[in-house]
Each structure stands twice: as structure tokens, then as C-alpha cells.
A and B are shown apart, each in its own frame.
Chain A
């Protein structure tokens, strides 16, 4: 019996009483768990663990008289149960088996909200053991307060605790799976029994139904007199709309596969068993890494492995062996004689596999097969010719998958995979879904609603990929809306880049200040906590400079002369950490969002907008809380002194970059505000000079501005490149300076857990290709020995005739670099703290806490460093900081990609509308100049710098010749002579938007019109 024997009459009621649990001798068989464990060295340990059986686990049933006093009891499960079912209309609850979570998670999350679910802890534990992403989704589901979900801690509760059955005569020892199944069934036995004692006799009890896709488990349950049902049968029995809604979400089911046992011929090899893989990786026989599909050629992929300096090339389906972009795979390197160079041809899956039939892949169309074979042969020949250059990569094949990285993909239905008859039929049929991203394979899908889905964007997840199926099998999750409708495109974009965009939940919003938008900085008085240890800087002439239309103003600046002749400059950052406290729902949501995502016409906030655009935002003419970094500098902009303080400021003006520039340049003005801007500007110029001297890079990536028709219609009109003004650089310099100062301070105070940002120097090999091209085409050299040298040689890459050429080289150089990342100072050695691009030995992000979570952490650490608040324990744990930052890094990367994709989409729309306006008949195209950035055997990749758009020009006929050594492709001109086009050449292209017949996907199509028209090449 686990009873409390002694309890101290607790003097303070702050915590539950301290008790000693007593374990009765009778409990021993259940309360001791003995098992053998093999250590890494191969030693076998005999391990005994104890556990306590509890009598105070609440059942979660409404009106339960017994459980009501147990800690954690909530009334969740209604006695009425769920009645909208043809078979179990009199009310029922569902008990979820592990295989449902593992295979039917989409169905599980989509089940009706009013359907009560009981989730045994065994299910949770097994899920956690098998797949962390699924575990996280399950946790999310459980924590959803609107749902009727109750976790029954079955292993902890006395009534349902189980231990594995030892081997008996004629029976083998119970496997762990069987034991877990039994544990889950035990729950179904327990509840009716428990309720019959705890509820009044007359009350009608709902039925408990075990939802499981394991046939054996169902059979045993039937034998024990329980009700068990498979997911498919259960959904089929639902009534009306629910059934329609859910029926496509059901994954084929584990049963079916085992029954069907497709014969067919094997296309792929089986994966090796996990332990062989791990052992192989350890001994160096295999290599492990992330699989990157080639977006230009669906039959090719690479794997970056730690052991080798070059990525491992995978050529052909068999070598890629069912890996999907992002999976962690194990590859075996082929003998050196079979090594190949990556193909230099564009192979588009949509085109190449147009005729594949979704229904049978055992015998793909012979013609298609041959075509593919021929193509592969050609590729091989191609490599023979290219053996001379150093392009040959270690080539391998995938022998196993360590971790799948499957998620839901945004897809279109492939119209060609539907027969004409099927277009109107409502029967279930097999179709292809083509993912938006070109680096993913087509997914086979069974659906009953194919006709409705044809012109929609849909979300599809991959369920499995068997050895005898050319394509992975997936299931339909939901529809996002009509193709090319802005809502669907936007949502698909967010999903594709995994941006969490749900509205903030109730729990999160309840963390906001009670006053809502009425909140004000209280009057200055000792009793107001806001003023504790805060500096009153309301009199300072502070202003903010931001892009036009900016609502979340993170930063404001000031500068003034001090009596001693030095200059005081200050950066004031919104005091987000005053509102976002560690470890509350708002904080964890912000941590998981990581960053605010900016799309062209939408912003997905990291913090609720009350904070982001109002209470924290340093708006002009109101008092706001701030975190200030204040330097004393001399004329040469050298720092004499720096201090950090929580403060209260009142911004005097919110400028746009343009307005600030005008104000600064207006000679007639000499008010303090203008002078302050001028002072800041002179300092910034000196700061920048110093930074450049130290070897900072000025990199380039195309930044575009999209003109929208009006704020409502969001119809894009035109695109132009963003202008860079002096004031942009003013703000940038001071933000950099603030970040560097803060980084040094928190690193000094918290050497083990400071949140910093670094940019590792890129490996020299990254630049090889670019160096070679530059050398051959332009006779320019790129010195990559250090960031300073690189900056110098980049400056020298100027083509007098082409002012944009330098920008292009900078863009290409940027692509060779690694990306910057957040890290925890204790996790890496001090030598690698540096920021390569900024040429700073230490760096962090501090200046935008409204839109970046790392900044919030830096704020908390700085506040602790100046003894304003104690540091929250989570920020002292290295593992916790590491975990948080890895999420933030990932989100940051994805957010950038989402932003870019959004711009791309709008550029497309703008081009379309531009074409319509100019009224070119049939053309709908616009003519632009473009640079060639890459040459292929049968095409060119070009970059239109004016639009920041990359495009592909392919030549269909074989009239051209390709010179890979010189990055040149020779095409026949109008009068027959050959014209060479090489990398960095400027050509003229016609850009148009074309709708792909099969995929409904709007594609940017480029046609070269000068020097040669590529249309009939």
C-alpha cells in the first residue's frame, strides 16, 4: 500500500506535505522491475528498478465521487459519451492504442472535438520511444483544453499496472509489445469497474471502445469481452459530415498491408537492420548524413557526410533507395571505379514521368522505362567525358534510413493520373499528388474526392514507401483552397516552411497585462514596481528610424554631446522581457515560433500583437519601457565607456529611413532632434569605416520591394529594388554595436550559457567553383584567405561596363558561405565564437526582441548580468539553452525561406499584371536583362537582378554544344554561326507565367531573346 504514514503538520501551506511512501510486501511483484541491459561495451547488467503503485490517480470522469479529491483531477470525460455513430449510438469513449498515434495521427487530431478520448500512459510512452515528432504532436493534442482528452496513468495506478509475464510451460516470455497491448486493454477493464463503484448505481455508463489497427490485439480484446475496432471501421461508422471529412484521413492501415502482401517485383533493396547500420557508421564502413535531393534532377541527390570533404553523390532511384529530402540516411560508398560526376542536365520529374500510371507500378510503361534507361545511359556517357576535371564525387547508395523527416507536404493532384471517367466518379481511386517542392517525389494517394481536389492545393503526408513501389504512399490531410487564390498560396507557403501560424490560444493571451491596450507606464513612484531600478530617460531626445509602415518598433536611438566633449550615444530596445516572463505559455509559444515571419502582405507574429505593435513597440509620443545600451564615445567613435540599464523613454519621433534622411540633409533645420541624427550619422560613418578596416564583408542578396495596389486588395502592381540610404546604415551600425557590446557583457557574466550568434568562416573549398568561373570568364581572382581579403577582392571584382556585375558576384559569394547561427557559449570552444561576415570576435542578437526569440533570451541574460533580475534557472542550463536555440535556428532559417518564397510568388503576380497592363497580346511577358549564373548541358540558369528572380532556360533540340571547362554553351545564331553564351554573360529574356497543365502550378517561364532566341532551340 502506498500510504502516507507520517505527515508533518505543514507549517507553511506553500507545498504539499512531505510524506514517506510505504511499499507493502504484497506489492513487490508489481513494484519491482527487473531487466537485463547490455552496455555499449557489451557488458550485461542486471538492473532492478522500483516503482510505487498509486491509489490516487484521478480518472477524469465527470461526477466521479472517488477521484474528485485526487491531485490533478479535472472533470473531462462526460458520462453521455459520443453518440454520433451508427454502431455505437448509445454513447461511447475511445481508448487509443499506440499504433493509432504512430500511423493515424492526422486522423486522431481531426477526430470530432466532442469525442471523449482516453489515452493510456503506455501509449504515450511507446510513442515517445518510437518517434519524438509524433510524441510532440500527441502532447499538443493532449494539452488542447477544448478537447475531451484524458490521460490515464495506467502503469502508475494500482488497478492497471502490469508486468511482463515470465516464460511458463508451453508459453514463451511475453514480448514488450504484447505486454503493452495487455496494459492498454487493462484500461478498458478498469474504467467500467471503477465507475460502477464511484457513481450512483442508476447512472448509465458509456461504452469503452479500443481503437487499434492491430488485428491480433482486436482479437484478444474480443476474447476478453471488450469492444475493439480498427480506425477505418470506426470512421466508416461515423454519421454524416464527420465521416465525409475524416474518411480520406485514414491511412491504409497496418492490417491491409500484411493481408495484401503485394507480390510484384522489387524495385528497391531492403534497408539493413538498424544495429548493422549503427555499427557500420561507427566502424566507418557506412556514412551518415542528411539527404539532399537535387532540385534540377529528380534522379540525383547528395548526402553531406562528416567524414568526407565532398558530398556523396547518389545517382538513380536505386541508389537513392526511397530517401526523401531531409531524411537522415546511411550510405555506402561504391568502389572508386564507379564514382561519377553530377549530371549537368535538367531532368524534370513532371515531364519525364508524365505517363506513369498511379495504379500499377509493378509494370511501368515500357516506353517510360526505356526512356529513363536511355537518359541514365546518356548521363553516364556524359560523366565519361567529364572524368578529367575534378568534378568526380564519391558515389554511393543508401543502405538504410536512420530517421525519416516526413511531414505534411503541399501538393497538387496530377490531372494526368486521373482517367476521364474518374473525373466525375466518387469511388475511391489512386492518384498522384505532386509536391510543390521539386526536390520531393510524387506521392501516391487514395481518395474518394479526386474530382473536387483537382484544382485545389492540398496537404498530403507520406505514410510509407515499400520496396516494390516506385512512389511513396500517402494520405490526404486537408484542402487549402483553390490554386492561385491568395489564401491558399499563403497558407501553403506557411505550411511548406513549417511556420506555426495558428492564432494565439487562450492560455497565451491570458499572459498579457490585464489592462490590455490601456496599459501605461505608471507614474514614477517607489511603490510602482515598473520603476524599480529603472532610469528615467524620458527627457532624452530619442527617435526611431524604421522602414515605412513599420508597426513593431524595436529600437530607438539618441546621441548628444557631453560637457566633457565626448559624445553620448544610446540605443533603446523595447523591453519585451518585462512582459514576457520565462516559462509561461506565452514564453513557450514564442520560443517555439522563434521569430516573426514577414511575408509580402502578411506578418506572422512571434508575440501577440498587443505586445508587438503596441505595448512593447517604441511608438512616438508615449512613454515606453526600454532596455538601453548607452556608450560614451570620443570623436573617433571609440568607446570610452558603456553601460546597460533598464529605462523609461518617450520617443520624440518615428521616422522612416527616407524622412530621417531628408531631415538630416535639410540644411535649414538645426533643432536638437536633427542634430542628434546628424551626430549619430557621423558616428555611424566612423563605425562603419572601422568595421570595414577590420575586415567585415558587405554582402549582397537581392532585396525587393513590392508595390501593392492598395492595402486592401493586395494586388501587386510592380516590383523594384530597395534603395539603401545613409540612414539605413546609421541604424545598422548602432544595432551592430549594441549587439556586440551586449554579447561581450553576457559572455563575461555567463560564460557557460550566454546566448550568442556566430558565423563560421566558410571552408575554402566552397569557393572553388566560383573562383574557377571568375578566373576563366573574367580573369579575376578571389582571395578567400580571410574575410578581409575576401572583402578586398570582392571590391576589385568590377566590370566597368556592368555596374550590376559586382552585386552579382557578391550574391554568388554569399551563397558559398555558411549561414550564421545562434549558439550557447558553453557548447563550443571560445575560438569559434567569431562572426565571419561582421569580422567581430563576438556577437549576439539583442536589438529586436519583438520579432526574434534569441533577443528575448539575451535580454533576460543581460538583465541578470546587471543584477536587475535573477536569471531564470532554465537559462542556466546549457542543455535547455541549446535546445531552445536549435529550434530558433531552424525557425529562423525557415522564416527566411518563407519570406523569399512569398516575394517570389508576388513577383510572379506582378509580372502577370504587368503583362496585362502593357497589353501584349498572348505574350503576357516582360522583357528583362539577365545574367547567366550557371550553364547546363541542355540549358542555362539565369538571374534577373531587377526582379531578384532566378529562372531556367532549356534547349530542347540538340543543336548546341556544351563546353563545361569554360562554362560556355554554344548555340547556333540566326545566320548559322555559333554564338557562345557563358556564365556572367548578359542576355535578354522574356519572362512569362505559364500554367502547367498537369499540376496547375504557375511556373515562371523564361525565354532567351537575345543574343539568340531560344524558342526554337
Chain B
């Protein structure tokens, strides 16, 4: 019932939340939001907020899993109890949907993290969904990229991700929860510099003719996200560099004093 009552795309070309088809939801990227993790980030897209913390590279918890030539990647996904409308996700740890999201994230990042640099170690990606309104997986992937960057683990490129829906002939970008339920949708994530796609996931049927158009559109949208991300990363790094400069001045002063004494 409820689905028939919302208009996916009205005559004015507006979606139910007054976006146009090619407009993404409001984003906010924050780095280093977890005090003890090696790297962390909180990403908000619309009303979906995901916090990702990276632990490692560190000794594997289970020795048997360790690999002698590369790091292994663990992904844990959790949803906080107060996150609304999870799209059928039960907030139990072993939930199938959560495991699937975890597996998707691991597969996305395995080829991108230079694991051979960290042999015999483990990198744990902990994803916490703080609020959900569609696009949990793309937002998690975006957040993981930022968290990896902030942790300093070597990766090949920015990976960004986006969901693309199809309403009749019109592709829609960045679906909200309501749209996700009504439309066939495709989630892609890609390496933005090399245009390589690391994940293309679809759980509904879609016509092959539309697929190419959606894929290309998704690639472009991923690049838009990447530009936005890079801005934040550079800004953050500048701040850190500034801080480092200040520190070095202070410490050089201090050492100078030492010499004086």
C-alpha cells in the first residue's frame, strides 16, 4: 500500500524528497572519528550514517588464518539498535544481510589494499551503521575508503560507490530507502582513476539495454563523489601538516633551550 502512495518521480521531474534524478543526497565526510582506531571516518549520505573504524595491520587473532605473504582482511558489520528502517536487517550479529554486506565490502577492498606490504598480519574493518535510510552498502564503502586513508594503509586508489535505480526509462542516482524498495537497483563501486569496477551488485532483474546506461552513469557519479572526498582528505591533511609544523617548531625550540642549558 505505502509504496503505491508515493510518487517515485512526479510530473515536475522531482523525486519524493524533491531531488532531481541526477542529484545525490547531502553528504558529509568526517575523518578520525574514533579515538583508538588506527583510522576511522563517519560518512553521512542523506539520512544514512555509517562509522567505519580500521584496526590493524596487527597480529591476526587466529594464527591459523594468517597468510605468509599478505595481510588478511576482516570485515565486521553492525547496526545500532536505533538505526531506523534497515531494509529487513535484523540487528543480530549473524544476520545474513549483514554478512553479505560484509562480504561485499571485503571483496571490494581486497584488490585495492596493498596487502602484500603487510604480510602475516590482519586488517579489521569495523562498520557501524548509525542510521539507515537506503544505500547502506555504498555509504559503507565510501566510509571505508576514507577510514583506510586516515589509517595510512596503502591503497591503490579512491574507491567510491553509489546506488542507481531505474524508474521506467529514467535512471535515478543515490536511492533513498523508499526508492530502494520500489525500484530495481544496481550498486557499483569503482576505482575512480582507472575506471575499474570492483563491485557491481544487483538483486533485482533489469533489462540488459538499460544496464549499460546505468553503469556509465554510476561511474560518473562515483567520480563526483571522489572529488568531494578528495577535498576533505586534502583539507584534513593540510591541518595535520600545519599541526606537525607547529609541533616541530615547538620541539625545536624546546631542544634549543636544552642546548642553552
Interface residues of A (CB under 8 A from B): 4-8, 10, 15-23, 45-54, 57, 71-72, 121, 128-129, 139, 142, 151, 153, 155-156, 583, 870-871, 873-874, 876
Contacts and interface: CB of A to CB of B under 8 A. Distances in A.
B148 interface: no
B24 A23 contact: no
B221 to A, nearest CB: 5
Given A48-B84, A57-B12, A156-B12, A20 B207 contact: no
A18 B22 contact: yes
Nearest to A15: B22
Interface in B169-201: 169, 173, 176, 178
A641 B130 CA distance: 62
Contacts of A874: 168
A110 to B, nearest CB: 23
Contacts of B178: 49
A72 B224 contact: no
Given A20-B25, A583-B168, 4 more contacts: A20-B26, A51-B17, A52-B26, A873-B209
Given A16-B22, A19-B22, A57-B12, A46 B84 contact: yes
A834 B5 CA distance: 35
A177 B58 CA distance: 60
Given A6-B227, A870-B207, A873-B210, A51 B18 contact: yes
Top 6 closest pairs, chain A to chain B, by CB = A23-B26, A156-B18, A51-B17, A20-B24, A52-B18, A18-B22
Contacts of B166: 873
A142 B11 contact: yes
Contacts of A20: 23-27, 224-225, 228
B47 interface: yes
Contacts of A54: 14, 18
B96 interface: no
A52 B14 CA distance: 10
Contacts of B25: 20-21, 50
Contact of A5 (B12, B14, B228): B228
Contacts of A15: 22, 217
B90 interface: no
14 contacts: A4-B23, A6-B228, A18-B23, A21-B24, A46-B84, A50-B26, A50-B133, A54-B14, A121-B10, A121-B12, A873-B168, A873-B169, A873-B209, A874-B168
B81 interface: no
Which of B13, B23, B207, B210 has most chain A Cβ within 10 Å? B23
A871 B207 contact: yes
* Residue among B7, B217, B224, B227 facing the most chain A CB atoms (10 A cut-off): B224
B95 interface: no
Interface string B79-112: 0000011000000000000000000000000000
Contacts of B20: 16, 71
A641 B221 CA distance: 50
B39 interface: no
Contacts of A17: 22
Q: Is the interface of B mostly helix, strand, loop or mixed?
A: loop
Nearest to B223: A8
Contacts of B85: 45, 47
A139 B207 CA distance: 29
A33 to B, nearest CB: 9
A48 B47 contact: yes
Contacts of B173: 18
Contacts of B7: 128
B69 interface: no
B220 interface: yes
B5 A129 contact: yes
- Counting chain A CB atoms within 10 Å of each CB, the highest count among B12, B24, B168, B205 belongs to B12
Contacts of B16: 51
A970 B159 CA distance: 92
B239 interface: no
Contacts of A156: 12, 14, 18
Interface in B123-159: 133
A5 B29 CA distance: 14
B24 A19 contact: yes
Given A6-B228, A52-B19, A47 B12 contact: no
B119 to A, nearest CB: 39
A876 B209 CA distance: 12
A50 B46 CA distance: 7
Contacts of A871: 207
A5 B28 CA distance: 12
B132 to A, nearest CB: 11
A128 to B, nearest CB: 8
B224 A53 contact: no
Given A53-B18, A873-B169, A19 B224 contact: yes
Contacts of B210: 873
Contact of A22 (B18, B19, B26): B26
B22 A47 contact: no
Contacts of B46: 50
A570 B84 CA distance: 61
B64 to A, nearest CB: 44
B12 A72 contact: yes
Interface in B25-55: 25-27, 46-47
B250 to A, nearest CB: 35
Given A57-B12, A129-B5, A8 B220 contact: yes
Interface string B209-227: 1100000010011011101
Contacts of B5: 128-129
Contacts of B84: 45-48
A71 B23 CA distance: 14
A676 B19 CA distance: 63
A6 B226 CA distance: 10
Most buried by A among B14, B25, B85, B221: B14
Nearest to A24: B26
B14 A6 contact: no
Contacts of B12: 57, 72, 121, 151, 153, 156
Contacts of B224: 6-8, 18-20
A12 to B, nearest CB: 9
A18 to B, nearest CB: 5
Nearest to A32: B47
A10 B210 CA distance: 20
A842 B7 CA distance: 36
A557 to B, nearest CB: 35
A156 B217 CA distance: 25
A71 B26 contact: no
A18 B221 contact: yes
A21 B26 contact: yes
Contacts of A48: 47, 84, 133
Contact of B11 (A45, A151, A155, A873): A151
Contacts of B11: 139, 142, 151
Contact of B17 (A46, A49, A142, A870): A49
Contacts of A21: 19, 23-26
B23 A19 contact: yes
A129 B16 CA distance: 15
Nearest to B220: A18
A583 to B, nearest CB: 7
Interface in B223-247: 223-225, 227-228
B85 to A, nearest CB: 7
A121 B17 CA distance: 13
Nearest to B82: A46
Contacts of B133: 48-50
Contacts of A23: 26
Nearest to A161: B18
A47 B178 CA distance: 12
Nearest to A54: B18
Nearest to A57: B12
Nearest to B47: A50
B24 A18 contact: yes
Contacts of B14: 54, 153, 156
A52 B22 contact: no
Contacts of A129: 5
